[in-house]
């Protein structure tokens, strides 16, 4: 199973298990989504996988309204980059709803994120740092096939708005047969590799780069601990601090723009 298939399967699972779930996004219906993340779901779940107009602001507004009425919408942004058009509804409407009115806002916004070769400045952004600035949002960044599946299922079940940053580079490259390896809740980081010389804190596609670097450094005699944050908001500072207490050195590695981002 690929990372992308895990995302597709997680959506099939929540559609099957919870009648209040529906998917809303551009080209997600009959076409199955530009990346095929909703392939076949339109036929399997009639009336619950709906094509949206190119209106990111209204798409998120609609999701918030549906959530008020007890639904659990999943909004697919065609690319993370286009969520900027829905920014107002995300940070002002969805993120503040619970604080203002004590009304839960169970929506999941999927952002196909990150750089892939040739994707240019408008199809490659990593916006997790931006969204993690706002109270009221949960921002998750799965790095593995199993996490992509389990964290998406968990995200849809949460009563809060979740920004689900799925990495496009991992869509087809990352494969795994084990979905049921160690399942952790959102908010808990995973020590993927233990070491003593330094701690690398990372998430999403950069996890795999960090692991490759750690293997190379091992040849030179350095033992590198690698922490996969899994979610950047909440951020598991307990695990990070405990790791740094052991190693004494910290390097944060992420793909989002560095200024004011989730790692600084």
Number of H helices, E strands in the chain: 10, 11
CA distance 193 to 218: 12
Site for another protein in 192-231 (CB under 8 A): none
Q: Give the nearer residue to another protein in terms of CB position, either 111 or 162.
A: 162
Give yes or no for a cis peptide into 234 (omega within 30° of 0).
yes
The minimum distance between CB 129 and another protein, in angstroms, equals: 15
Which of 184, 187, 242, 250 contacts another protein by CB under 8 A?
A: 187
Neighbouring-strand partners of residue 164: 110, 140
Q: Give the nearer residue to another protein in terms of CB position, either 1 or 240.
A: 240
Decide: is 70 part of the binding site for another protein (CB under 8 A).
yes
Residue in the block written with tokens 């593995």 = 144
The pair of three-digit structure tokens given for residue 88, joined into one six-digit string = 């107002």
Q: Which residues contact 249 (CB under 8 A, 6 or more apart)?
A: 197, 198, 199
Decide: is 103 part of the binding site for another protein (CB under 8 A).
yes
Site for another protein in 112-131 (CB under 8 A): none
Q: Is 108 left (phi over 0), alpha (psi -120 to 50) or beta?
A: beta
Helix, strand, coil in percent for the chain, rounding step 5: 40, 20, 40
The minimum distance between CB 124 and another protein, in angstroms, equals: 24
Q: Which residues contact 117 (CB under 8 A, 6 or more apart)?
A: none
Q: Give the nearer residue to another protein in terms of CB position, either 74 or 186.
A: 186
Site for another protein in 6-35 (CB under 8 A): 22
- 238 in Cβ contact with 149 (< 8 Å): no
Piece in contact with another protein (CB under 8 A), picked from 198-206, 213-221, 232-240, 244-252: 232-240
Decide: is 4 part of the binding site for another protein (CB under 8 A).
no
Asked if 173 is an active-site residue, the reply is no
Decide: is 133 part of the binding site for another protein (CB under 8 A).
no
Site for another protein in 38-67 (CB under 8 A): 47-48, 52-53, 55-67
Catalytic residue among 123, 150, 167, 208: 123
Decide: is 240 part of the binding site for another protein (CB under 8 A).
no
- 41 in Cβ contact with 32 (< 8 Å): yes
Decide: is 101 part of the binding site for another protein (CB under 8 A).
yes
Q: What are phi and psi of 259, to 5 degrees?
A: -75, 120
CA distance 33 to 8: 10
Q: Give the nearer residue to another protein in terms of CB position, either 60 or 207.
A: 60
Which of 13, 96, 116, 223 contacts another protein by CB under 8 A?
A: 96
Active site residues: 123
State the residues that interact with another protein by CB under 8 A: 22, 47-48, 52-53, 55-71, 73, 85, 88-89, 92-93, 95-104, 135-136, 138, 158-160, 185-187, 233-235
């Amino acid at each position: 199973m690929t990372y992308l298939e895990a995302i597709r399967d997680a959506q099939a699972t929540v559609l099957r298990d919870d009648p209040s779930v529906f998917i809303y996004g551009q080209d997600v219906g009959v076409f199955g989504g530009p990346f095929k993340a909703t392939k076949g779901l339109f036929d399997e779940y009639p009336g619950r996988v709906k094509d949206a107009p190119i209106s990111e602001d209204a798409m998120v507004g609609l999701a918030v309204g549906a959530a008020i009425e007890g639904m659990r919408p999943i909004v697919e942004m065609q690319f993370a980059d286009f969520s900027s058009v829905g920014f107002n509804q995300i940070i002002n409407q969805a993120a503040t709803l619970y604080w203002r009115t004590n009304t839960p806002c169970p929506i999941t916004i999927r952002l196909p994120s990150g750089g892939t070769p040739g994707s240019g400045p408008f199809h490659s952004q990593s916006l997790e740092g931006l969204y993690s600035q706002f109270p009221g949002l949960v921002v998750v960044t799965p790095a593995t096939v199993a996490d992509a599946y389990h964290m998406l299922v968990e995200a849809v079940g949460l009563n809060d708005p979740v920004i689900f940053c799925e990495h496009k580079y991992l869509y087809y490259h990352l494969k795994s047969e084990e979905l049921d390896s160690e399942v952790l809740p959102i908010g808990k980081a995973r020590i993927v590799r233990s070491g003593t010389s330094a701690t690398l804190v990372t998430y999403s596609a950069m996890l795999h780069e960090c692991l490759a670097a750690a293997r190379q450094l091992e040849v030179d005699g350095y033992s590198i601990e690698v922490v996969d944050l899994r979610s950047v908001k909440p951020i598991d500072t307990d695990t990070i601090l405990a790791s740094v207490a052991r190693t004494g050195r910290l390097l944060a590695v992420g793909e989002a723009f560095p200024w004011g981002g989730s790692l600084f």
